[in-house]
């Protein structure tokens, strides 16, 4: 019986570790690529994320915005509008910072919670990866 406890602990630890490391590598697959965000109200928009830049195309209104990406961890990153993009959004202050937290990873998408330093609301959305 005394041997059983360490074995159970080791098995539980290994399963937890495999799940944790598997999720981390899945999250990393979403650091770059082309994504689509469906929206019934504003029209779909496309995100292209490469390196520390993210370009967003709002198809319905024909606007393109550029953001600087800063990964804080595997599941949290911030977006700061590039200089030229700030003027596209009059409600964005000059020091605008958007924080994105990846809550759940699926095979071809992830669920994110978005907040900012200029809006009290938090938004949950699903982002679909369409290309690497």
What residue numbers bound the domain in which 95 lies? Answer: 4-131
Angstrom distance (rounded) from CA 51 to CA 104: 22
Q: Which CATH number covers residue 127?
A: 2.40.128
DSSP 60: T
Which residues of the chain have a pLDDT value below 50?
1, 3-22
Instruction: State how many domains the chain has.
Output: 1
25-39 pLDDT tens trace: 588 899 999 999 998
Q: What is the pLDDT of residue 2?
A: 52
Per residue in 89-106, pLDDT (tens digit) is: 777 888 999 999 999 999
The pTM score is 0.77
Output b/e per residue, 60-86; b: 16+ Cβ within 10 A.
eeeeebbbebeeeeebebbbbbeeebb
80 close to 106: Cβ distance less than 8 angstroms:
no
């Amino acid at each position: 019986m005394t041997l059983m406890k360490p074995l159970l602990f080791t098995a539980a630890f290994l399963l937890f570790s495999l799940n944790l490391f598997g999720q981390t590598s899945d999250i990393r697959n979403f650091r770059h690529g082309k994504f689509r965000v469906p929206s019934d109200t504003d029209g779909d928009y496309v995100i292209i994320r490469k390196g520390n830049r993210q370009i967003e195309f709002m198809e319905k209104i024909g606007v393109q915005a550029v953001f600087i990406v800063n990964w804080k961890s595997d599941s949290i990153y911030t977006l700061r509008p590039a200089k030229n993009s700030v003027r596209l959004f009059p409600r964005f202050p000059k020091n605008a910072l958007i924080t994105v937290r990846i809550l759940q990873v699926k095979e071809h998408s992830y669920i994110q919670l978005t907040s900012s330093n200029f809006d009290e609301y938090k938004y949950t959305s699903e982002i679909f990866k369409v290309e690497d």
